[in-house]
Structure 1
């Protein structure tokens, strides 16, 4: 695993806030050359520290106002197979492995409660899932995902 130094950490923070910033802007803010920024980004990508770039949408612009957390129990060694199957659902926002009673925590998003119900039914049919529990997310008073 690559050990990040303070410059890497500052670069990653800037990219988290705006992954589309130009190399020139990043270099000016960090006080280093464009070549240094490019080399660091390349190294962070090659080492797997940076695995991709994405678009972060404001919650009120997404046509998926119904959100829930599905806690899933998986039999035996089926976790990888279940994660692959869940990854094929466009309604799956995030998948987390965990310890304790539940093996996976899955965040789901859908336009309506009826749609969420359909998603839950389809997820429960995935081979290897032995139990689940779902909680609706009513409000998000604080999130550290995006600082807009």
Structure 2
């Protein structure tokens, strides 16, 4: 089956479903500014393509394990660069975005289903007006992962 890349509306649908997978098509349609029928058709397409599996959001194409990367992002205007953060919020695979001190402004963690999806996200971020540079570090292994508050999610 041919897989179509996710456009910004698909990404917004996945982001909303990630927050609340039980959201009705009507409510989701209001949030993404589409008709209920258009949202239903997009969800059905993403289910056929494997982006949505078993009512669980799978960010990226199926068939490969989870790929994690950190992107260090430098913004042209460190103080007024909120447009960059707005775009990052719309990408479902972005699981962390922190403003940091040092050479780069933002530390962004991406968790995707494939290297190809990480590259697509990197290209999308690099093309955001106001982003002047990025450095990407792929996660090779993860030994400690804690939920907020110190509870261990995985080790």
Give TM-score scaled by structure 2 length.
Answer: 0.52
**Matched residue SS, 2:72:** strand
Match of 2:140 in 1: 138
Match of 1:84 in 2: 86
Counterpart mapping for 1:3-82 below 5 A: 65-76=66-77, 77-82=79-84
**Matched residue SS, 1:135:** strand
Match of 1:125 in 2: 127
Match of 1:147 in 2: 152
Cα deviation 1:8-41 (Å, max 9, x = unaligned): xxxxxxxxxxxxxxxxxxxxxxxxxxxxxxxxxx
Cα deviation 1:85-134 (Å, max 9, x = unaligned): 11111111110000110000000011111111111111111111000000
Alpha carbons of structure 1 residues 107 and 97: separation in structure 2 relative to 1, 3 Å = same
Cα deviation 1:37-69 (Å, max 9, x = unaligned): xxxxxxxxxxxxxxxxxxxxxxxxxx7610100
1:91–1:109 CA contact under 8 A, matched in 2 = yes
What stretches of structure 2 of length at least 5 have no aligned partner?
1-63
Partners in 1 of 2:93 and 2:145 — Cα distance?
20
Choose 1 or 2 for highest CA Rg: 1
**Matched residue SS, 1:102:** coil
Q: CA shift at 1:78, angstroms?
A: 3.6
Partners in 1 of 2:65 and 2:90 — Cα distance?
17
1:69–1:108 CA contact under 8 A, matched in 2 = yes
Partners in 2 of 1:104 and 1:116 — Cα distance?
17
1:69–1:106 CA contact under 8 A, matched in 2 = yes
Give TM-score scaled by structure 1 length.
Answer: 0.54
Partners in 2 of 1:133 and 1:112 — Cα distance?
18
Partners in 1 of 2:86 and 2:94 — Cα distance?
11
Aligned residues: 86
